[in-house]
Amino acid sequence: MSPHTNELLAHIPDEEFMSMTRNMKLVSLVKGQTLFEAGQIPSEVHYPVGAVASMMIELSDGFSVEAHMFGKACMVGVGTIGVPSFYSAKVRSSGLAYSLPVENLRQAWQTCPGYASASQRAMQRVFRQLSQSVICGKRHSVDQQLIRWILISLDRTLTEIIPITHQELSELLGFRREAVTLALGKLCETGLISCGRGQLTVMDRQKLETLACDCYWIGQEKPRP
């Protein structure tokens, strides 16, 4: 799997790409694996090329909620370089990623202007999407938030299959399992998705996109259909 699969690395100049990837290592990430905890200063960042990781915010009651997800569009480690992380990063879908020591990333910011510019744009998208997720949580229904989550998941991975259970999804989104099951059932009845044991498959992304709220489309590089 080439590092070019990661969109943050895909379009930087060839010389910068060679410089960046020289110190990278291809690793296999496993579902449930913790890349770093809240309060830790990570020693490396990850560029997913198949794996998906969740930005988890820990609550005082012991629960945690997914605030963002990282995949092939970005790197895992946003906002953690040299400072304690405000979130924990946990692998949600098993797959491959390229790891890079933080010290090499810092060097790249100084010597790879194309990458530095792409990284800044990516971080702006992440924080914009974080802000939009707050608005979505306050203004939109469980059904709309679920559709947004499904589409973002597809944007982060390489397949139409999302490995997740109803219980895991309810915990990530912060909804009761019954509400998530009801919303998934509606999408299954219309043929937009199918649900199996421990996974859901998107059958018609195009139609699913027409049902998405504006919160999904803000920050996207393609126009709303």
Q: What is the pTM of this model?
A: 0.88
Is 221 exposed, middle or buried, given 0-12, 13-18 or 19+ CB atoms closer than 10 A?
exposed
- Percent of the chain at pLDDT > 90 equals 67
Neighbours of 12 (CB within 10 A): 22
> Do the beta carbons of residue 47 and residue 3 sit within 8 Å?
yes
Summarize pLDDT for 79-96 with one digit per residue, the tens.
Answer: 888 889 999 999 999 999
Summarize pLDDT for 135-188 with one digit per residue, the tens.
Answer: 887 788 999 999 999 999 998 888 899 999 999 999 888 889 999 999 999 999
* Strands annotated E in the chain: 25-29, 34-36, 44-48, 52-58, 64-70, 88-93, 95-101, 161-162, 193-196, 199-202
The span from the CA of 35 to the CA of 37, in Å, is 7
CB-based contacts of 30-33 (< 8 A; 24+ apart in sequence): 30/91, 30/94, 31/91, 31/92, 31/93, 31/94, 31/163, 32/90, 32/91, 33/90, 33/91
pLDDT of residue 222: 64
| Amino acid at position 16, single letter | E
> Do the beta carbons of residue 204 and residue 192 sit within 8 Å?
yes
- For 42, 127, 154, 201, the CA distances from 131, given in Å and listed in that order, are 24, 6, 20, 28
DSSP state of 38: T
pLDDT of residue 65: 85
SS3 201: strand
Summarize pLDDT for 102-131 with one digit per residue, the tens.
Answer: 999 999 989 999 999 999 888 888 888 888
> Do the beta carbons of residue 211 and residue 147 sit within 8 Å?
yes
